[in-house]
């Protein structure tokens, strides 16, 4: 069977406290893993407004705030919430098995 996704290891659920994030790098960018009240979500780490890492911003509830111009996104859906961002973030499938987090990223985004 042909592999279509890269599986990123997000580490243990206990490594990312509530309300905190972790950046997972791959060859073409990075994924922002977010702990929202004990549930993990993953979105692209790159703001869709300009070239800024959302890891440098902050997470409040399910909203991630970009440190460069203050735009916000919903990390559950990737939707833009406040100006100046208008384009949604890519979201990724997160699985947790035996306390370890894994994020599935399409190979087309990593090569
Ligand atoms: S680069 Fe993120 S809001 Fe402008």
Angstrom distance (rounded) from CA 89 to CA 25: 16
- Ligand 1 center from residue 38 Cα (angstroms): 27
pLDDT score recorded for residue 42: 98
| Res 33 pLDDT > 90 | yes
- Residue 88 DSSP code: P
Beta-bridge mates of residue 97: 100
| Res 60 pLDDT > 80 | yes
Fold of 5-104: Rieske Iron-sulfur Protein (2.102.10)
Average pLDDT of the residues in 85-103: 98
What is the CB neighbour count within 10 angstroms for residue 42? Answer: 27
What is the CB neighbour count within 10 angstroms for residue 15? Answer: 14
| Res 111 pLDDT > 80 | no
The whole model's pTM is what? 0.94
Q: Identify the residue whose C-alpha is closest to ligand 1 atom 1.
A: 50
Angstrom distance (rounded) from CA 1 to CA 3: 6
Listed by start position, the domains of the chain span 5-104
């Amino acid at each position: 069977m042909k592999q279509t996704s890269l599986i990123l290891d997000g580490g243990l659920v206990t490594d990312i406290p509530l309300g905190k994030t972790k950046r997972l790098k791959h060859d073409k960018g990075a994924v922002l893993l977010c702990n929202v009240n004990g549930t993990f979500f993953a979105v692209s780490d790159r703001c869709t407004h300009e070239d800024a890492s959302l890891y440098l911003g902050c997470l409040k509830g399910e909203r991630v705030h970009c440190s460069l111009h203050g735009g916000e996104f919903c990390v559950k859906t990737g939707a833009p919430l406040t100006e100046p961002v208008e384009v949604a973030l890519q979201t990724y499938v997160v699985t947790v098995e035996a306390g370890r987090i894994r994020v599935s990223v399409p190979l087309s985004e990593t090569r």
